[in-house]
C-alpha cells in the first residue's frame, strides 16, 4: 500500500490548477464571524429556531446596509438540542473552528449557564437574548443579556395573580432541572406570599417527563385556586391537559417559557384562557413592534414570537457595539477575518475586549422588546407584559413596569 500517499498527493497536485482557476488567486472577501448556539431540535426547538430567524433578519438588514464598515457579518449556528452538555460542546466547536468575535445564545438559562464559562475564559462576548435566570450574567464580565431577569418576572406574575386576578392560594409545579423554573418558582413565591397569598403546595418534575399525574393529584388535593407552572411549552401543554383530565377547573399561570406557537397545539383547549408573562405582545400597536412583525412575516411567513423579537434585538445591540468599535480602523481590522495581513491573537483579543466594553455601554437602545440599557450587572431592565392564551394567539392583557 506504499503507493497510496503518492496517489493522494498526485490527486492533490491535479486539483491545484482547478483551485487556481476558480479562485483566480484572489483572497476571499473579509468577514466578521458571529456564533449562535441554540435548540434547533428537541423539546424546545421553537426557541432556537425563532431566535435564529430573528438574528438572521437583523444580520441580513445589517449586511444589506453595508455591514460593519463595508465588512459583512457571517453567522455560524450550532444546534445544542436544548441540552446543557450539548450547549457546551456546540460553543467549544464554534470557538475552535470559527473564531467568532461574539456569540449569541442561549434561550434556556441552564444552557446559557453551561456555555457562558467557556466564552468568559476565552474572552469572547456573549449576549443571551432571553435567558432570565440571574446567575447567567454572573458568570463574568463578558456575559450579557438584553432581557429582564426572573426576580422581576416572578414578581410581575405574582402581582398579576394577586392584584388583577384576586387569586389567594396557588399551587406550583416546576421543572427541577431547569435553573429558570426553580428560580422563577422561588421569586413568584417571595412576592406572592409577601402580598398575603398562600402557596397551596409545590411539586417537581424533570424536563424529560411526560406523565405528571402523581404530582398533579397531590397538588389538586390541596384545592389551589390556580396552578403556577414555571416551565417550557412542551411540558406546560402536557401538564395543562393532565390537570384538566383530573378535574382541575382553575386558571394556569406561567412565565416566558410558555412562549411558542406549539403551546396551544400541545395543550389544546386545556391551555386556552391561561396567562403568562412575556417580553413582547404581537398585538402591541407600537409601530416599532408592528414594523418588525411585517418584516419578519414577509421573510418567514409567520408571526414572530418573543424569542424572534429578542433574537433580533440581541443581534442589533451587538452590531451597534461593533459599529462603535470599528470606528477605530485597527480594531475594525482585528474584528474581521481573512484580512490580507491576519490580525495577531493579541489584536483580536483586544478587539473583543473593546466589543465587551461597547456592549456594556449600550443605553437607550430602541429594541422591538422595549428600550435596552445594559446595567452594571450586564442585564437589561425592561417592562414585562402579561398575555392571555387564546385560540387566535396570545392577547395583550397588561404591562408591568420594572
Residues of this chain that bind ligand PHE (CB under 6 A): 47, 107-109, 130-133, 180, 256-257, 259, 306-307
Residue pair 190/172 in contact (Cβ under 8 Å)? The answer is no
Nearer to ligand PHE, 256 or 333 (CB): 256
Please state, in angstroms and rounded to a whole number, the distance separating the CA atoms of residues 4 and 2. 5
Minimum distance of ligand PHE from residue 372's CB (angstroms): 15
Minimum distance of ligand PHE from residue 133's CB (angstroms): 5
Please state, in angstroms and rounded to a whole number, the distance separating the CA atoms of residues 306 and 309. 5
Please state, in angstroms and rounded to a whole number, the distance separating the CA atoms of residues 363 and 225. 41
Nearer to ligand PHE, 355 or 384 (CB): 384
Q: What is the DSSP letter of 257?
A: G
Minimum distance of ligand PHE from residue 121's CB (angstroms): 22
Minimum distance of ligand PHE from residue 368's CB (angstroms): 13
Nearer to ligand PHE, 55 or 107 (CB): 107
Residue pair 168/162 in contact (Cβ under 8 Å)? The answer is yes
Minimum distance of ligand PHE from residue 399's CB (angstroms): 17
**What are the cell numbers at 353?**
475586549
Minimum distance of ligand PHE from residue 226's CB (angstroms): 21
**What are the cell numbers at 78?**
450550532
Please provide the DSSP assignment of 63-97 as one string.
Answer: HHTTTBTTBEEEEEEEE-TT-HHHHHHHHHHHHHH
Minimum distance of ligand PHE from residue 35's CB (angstroms): 19
CA distances from 334 to 314, 315, 345 (A): 22, 20, 9
Nearer to ligand PHE, 67 or 367 (CB): 367
**Cα 208 to the chain's mean position, in Å?**
20
Nearer to ligand PHE, 351 or 385 (CB): 385
Nearer to ligand PHE, 169 or 381 (CB): 381
Nearer to ligand PHE, 276 or 319 (CB): 276
Q: Which residue's C-beta sits nearest to ligand PHE?
A: 180
Nearer to ligand PHE, 175 or 219 (CB): 175
Give the number of C-alpha atoms closer than 13 A to the C-alpha of residue 176, restricted to the C-beta side: 7
Minimum distance of ligand PHE from residue 15's CB (angstroms): 47
Nearer to ligand PHE, 101 or 157 (CB): 157
Q: Taking Cα atoms as reference points, which of 254, 38, 57 lies closest to residue 130?
A: 38
Please provide the DSSP assignment of 121-167 as one string.
Answer: HTT--EEESS---GGGGGG-TTEEESS--HHHHHHHHHHIIIIIT--
Q: What are phi and psi of 158, to 5 degrees?
A: -65, -45
Nearer to ligand PHE, 179 or 337 (CB): 179
Residue 5, classified by CB atoms within 10 Å of its CB into exposed (0-12), middle (13-18) or buried (19+), is exposed
Minimum distance of ligand PHE from residue 230's CB (angstroms): 9
Please state, in angstroms and rounded to a whole number, the distance separating the CA atoms of residues 15 and 213. 63
Which residue(s) pair with 204 in the sheet?
174
Minimum distance of ligand PHE from residue 398's CB (angstroms): 18
Amino acid at each position: 500500500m506504499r503507493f497510496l500517499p503518492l496517489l493522494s498527493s498526485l490527486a492533490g497536485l491535479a486539483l491545484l490548477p482547478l483551485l487556481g482557476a476558480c479562485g483566480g488567486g484572489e483572497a476571499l472577501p473579509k468577514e466578521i464571524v458571529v456564533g449562535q448556539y441554540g435548540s434547533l431540535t428537541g423539546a424546545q426547538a421553537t426557541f432556537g429556531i425563532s431566535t435564529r430567524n430573528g438574528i438572521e433578519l437583523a444580520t441580513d438588514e445589517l449586511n444589506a446596509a453595508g455591514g460593519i464598515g463595508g465588512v459583512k457579518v457571517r453567522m455560524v449556528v450550532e444546534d445544542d438540542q436544548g441540552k446543557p452538555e450539548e450547549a457546551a460542546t456546540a460553543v467549544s466547536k464554534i470557538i475552535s473552528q470559527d473564531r467568532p468575535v461574539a456569540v449569541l445564545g442561549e434561550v434556556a438559562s441552564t444552557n446559557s449557564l453551561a456555555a457562558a464559562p467557556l466564552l468568559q475564559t476565552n474572552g469572547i462576548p456573549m449576549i443571551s437574548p432571553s435567558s432570565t435566570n440571574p446567575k447567567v450574567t454572573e458568570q463574568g464580565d463578558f456575559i450579557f443579556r438584553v432581557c429582564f431577569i426572573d426576580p422581576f418576572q416572578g414578581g410581575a406574575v405574582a402581582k398579576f395573580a394577586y392584584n388583577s386576578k384576586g387569586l389567594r392560594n396557588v399551587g406550583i409545579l416546576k421543572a427541577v432541572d431547569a435553573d429558570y423554573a426553580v428560580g422563577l418558582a422561588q421569586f413568584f413565591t417571595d412576592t406572592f406570599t409577601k402580598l398575603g397569598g398562600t402557596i397551596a403546595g409545590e411539586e417537581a418534575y424533570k424536563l424529560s417527563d411526560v406523565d405528571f399525574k402523581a404530582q398533579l393529584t397531590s397538588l389538586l388535593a390541596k384545592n389551589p385556586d390556580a396552578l403556577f407552572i414555571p416551565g417550557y411549552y412542551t411540558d406546560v401543554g402536557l401538564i395543562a391537559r393532565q390537570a384538566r383530565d383530573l378535574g382541575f377547573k382553575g386558571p394556569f399561570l406561567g412565565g416566558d417559557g410558555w412562549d411558542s406557537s406549539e403551546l396551544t397545539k400541545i395543550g389544546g383547549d386545556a391551555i386556552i384562557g391561561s396567562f403568562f408573562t412575556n417580553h413582547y405582545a404581537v398585538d402591541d400597536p407600537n409601530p416599532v413592534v408592528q414594523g418588525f412583525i411585517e418584516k419578519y412575516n414577509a421573510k418567514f411567513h409567520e408571526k414572530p414570537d418573543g424569542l424572534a423579537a429578542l433574537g433580533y434585538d440581541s443581534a442589533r445591540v451587538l452590531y451597534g457595539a461593533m459599529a462603535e468599535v470599528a470606528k477605530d480602523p485597527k480594531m475594525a481590522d482585528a474584528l474581521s477575518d481573512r484580512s490580507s495581513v491576519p490580525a495577531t491573537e493579541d489584536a483580536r483579543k483586544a478587539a473583543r475586549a473593546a466589543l465587551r466594553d461597547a456592549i456594556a455601554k449600550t443605553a437607550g437602545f430602541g429594541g422591538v422588546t422595549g428600550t435596552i440599557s445594559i446595567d452594571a450587572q450586564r442585564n437589561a431592565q425592561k417592562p414585562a407584559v402579561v398575555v392571555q392564551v387564546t385560540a387566535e394567539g396570545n392577547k395583550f392583557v397588561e404591562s408591568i413596569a420594572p
